[in-house]
Structure 1
Amino acid sequence: MDEPLHSVPNTDMWECVDFYPVSLTNNSVLDMAAYGPGIKHVIKESWEGHRKYWYSIGTYDAINDKWTPDNPELDVGIGYRRDYGRFFASKSLYDLLKKKQVT
């Protein structure tokens, strides 16, 4: 990889990054390789020095291997915060029985 998938100026070191697709049309969990119309991708990460968990929703360009946030003002590390220090470096997983992505 010559360049990162995505980066945000003035954010700390990202740890335990998660990257996964979500469907805009139904509740089914998608294969990790899914991209295209009707699909968004979530990036979530924890900051090393702050012990917080941030995420953002955007579009993945598989041709150029780049991810772009839907709203740059809500980019990773400056927008949506999922945790305030209790679950530092959490990872998501797929629950096969419930057929859901668990974050």
Structure 2
Amino acid sequence: MFRSYYVYILKCSDGTYYTGVTNDPERRLIEHQQGLHRNSYTFSRRPVKCMYVSELFTDPIQAIEWEKQVKNWSRKKKEALIAGKWELLPELAKKGSKTIPSKNDNLKD
């Protein structure tokens, strides 16, 4: 069975960003808005607004890897992604945003 996965960024009421992964962005936004999980980051930061949803991933591992990478980005880099300013991402990466090395980074030529 084909499943799709998405990485999303929410803007919380306190101005912070929350990054997550889901197979149903609409349902997940409703869950965040309703505060179904008391211990979640967004529970006390509602209402939240969906700012970004990635193109779909068919592999959940790839979606989780992208989520982890985006979670470690600076606020400015996340805002460039949200605004669709892809050309700014490489420069913002040089300014201290963390990236997670891929498993291929350890391969020798």
Q: Give the TM bin, normalised by the shorter chain.
A: under 0.3
More strand by share: 1
Identify, as 1 or 2, the structure richer in helix: 2
TM-score under structure 1 normalisation? 0.25
Radius of gyration: which is bigger? 2
